[in-house]
Amino acid sequence: RIAYVNGSYVAHAEAGVHVEDRGYQFGDGVYEVCEVRGGHMVDERRHMARLVRSLGELRIRLPMSLAALGVVLRQTIARNRVRDGLVYLQVTRGVARRDHYFPDAATPPSLVVTARSVDPAKGEAVAGQGIAVITVPDNRWERVDIKTIGLLPNVLAKEAAKQAGAREAWFVDASGHVTEGGSTNAWIVTPEGRLITRPAESGILRGITRTVMMEVAEKLQLRVEERPFTVAEALGAREAFVTSATNFATPVVRIDGQTIGDGRPGPVVRALRENFHQVAEIAR
Ligand code: PLP
């Protein structure tokens, strides 16, 4: 495997950044994960737009033009011979002597890109079974709209899920409403068949898959309501699911040990999954 690190393509096993990289020292950076399908990136344009926004919010420079970044992403995918899988990119505020203040404006940001193959059959198998989730208090900071590499609450929540025999953790805010998953956006289908997901204006990352899934729902003539929902409402839902670039829509069949619907993946999430790649932009 090959990784791109600050201007060079290097053996993945030997790829490294400086010990005083701001990402390593402070979690001072942002990232994107983009699905690769048939060798092409899915929704590249939207992922790049979100990257630019995350960087802007943190006042980190884009390390190169978006066109050049597109070349690096494609090169990394090609050099790793990825047909189906993921491409990961991370930008940090660069290398500087450890000091909380921003470094000199001339400090170049660091850029790392990796890509790896993922067997699509694995995601299909998980989706065929459905997953269990647990709920945990949302103890994250207020700026979860920024896709920062500082993911400690998410790491702890997902590990707690794993220890409980579940795959994802749903964060719950102080008013008892679900915000999102540790690495996914959360959705339910009401007994009336309406799709509910939290508005992206507060408490969540605006998932690219979430945005595209709204278009898929429209195409399928499903009604979507953007509003917060409680854990109690989720427990009474007909279906529940999570969305992310790593496995577009994954059915949730258990929440805190309680069965959702009939305990099997439902027709709505199945239809959304099947139609996703007809709606997503695949950049060739
Ligand atoms: N929410 C969080 C906290 C995430 O980390 C992610 C993806 O990593 C998502 C939502 C889903 O976003 P996307 O659909 O862009 O992958």
Instruction: Look up 162 and say whether it is catalytic.
Output: no
Domain boundaries, the chain: 2-118, 123-283
* Fold of the domain spanning 123-283: D-amino Acid Aminotransferase; Chain A, domain 2 (3.20.10)
Sign of the four-CA dihedral 256, 120, 268, 218: positive
Q: Quote the pLDDT of residue 279.
A: 94
Q: How far, in Å, CA of 128 to CA of 133, rounded?
A: 16
110 has a pLDDT exceeding 80: yes
pLDDT digits (tens, 9 = 90+) for 149-182: 999 999 999 999 999 999 999 999 999 999 999 9
Q: How far, in Å, CA of 279 to CA of 195, rounded?
A: 18
Mean pLDDT, the chain, rounded, equals: 97
pLDDT digits (tens, 9 = 90+) for 205-253: 999 999 999 999 999 999 999 999 999 999 999 999 999 999 999 999 9
The radius of gyration of the chain from alpha carbons, rounded to an integer in Å, stands at 19
Mutate to test the pocket of ligand 1, among 54, 142, 184, 243 (most ligand atoms within 8 A of CB): 184
Would you say 30 and 90 are in contact if contact means Cβ atoms under 8 Å apart? yes
Rounded to an integer, the average pLDDT of 254-266 is: 97
Kindly state the greatest CA–CA separation across the chain. Answer: 58
* Fold of the domain spanning 2-118: D-amino Acid Aminotransferase; Chain A, domain 1 (3.30.470)
Nearest CA to ligand 1 atom 5: 183
Query: Could you say which of 122, 147, 158, 219 is catalytic?
Result: 147
Confidence band, pLDDT 50/70/90 cuts, at residue 283: confident
pLDDT digits (tens, 9 = 90+) for 41-91: 999 999 999 999 999 999 999 999 999 999 999 999 999 999 999 999 999
Q: Quote the pLDDT of residue 192.
A: 96
Rounded to an integer, the average pLDDT of 92-98 is: 98
**Closest atom, ligand 1, to C-alpha of 208:** 15
Would you say 218 and 284 are in contact if contact means Cβ atoms under 8 Å apart? no
Nearest CA to ligand 1 atom 7: 183
pLDDT digits (tens, 9 = 90+) for 38-47: 999 999 999 9
Mutate to test the pocket of ligand 1, among 183, 248, 281 (most ligand atoms within 8 A of CB): 183
Q: Is the C-beta atom of 114 inside 6 A of ligand 1?
A: no
Residue reference for tokens 């956006």: 185
**Closest atom, ligand 1, to C-alpha of 209:** 14
Q: Is the C-beta atom of 275 inside 6 A of ligand 1?
A: no
Would you say 17 and 5 are in contact if contact means Cβ atoms under 8 Å apart? yes
Mutate to test the pocket of ligand 1, among 87, 202, 244, 246 (most ligand atoms within 8 A of CB): 244
284 has a pLDDT exceeding 70: no
Q: Is the C-beta atom of 32 inside 6 A of ligand 1?
A: no
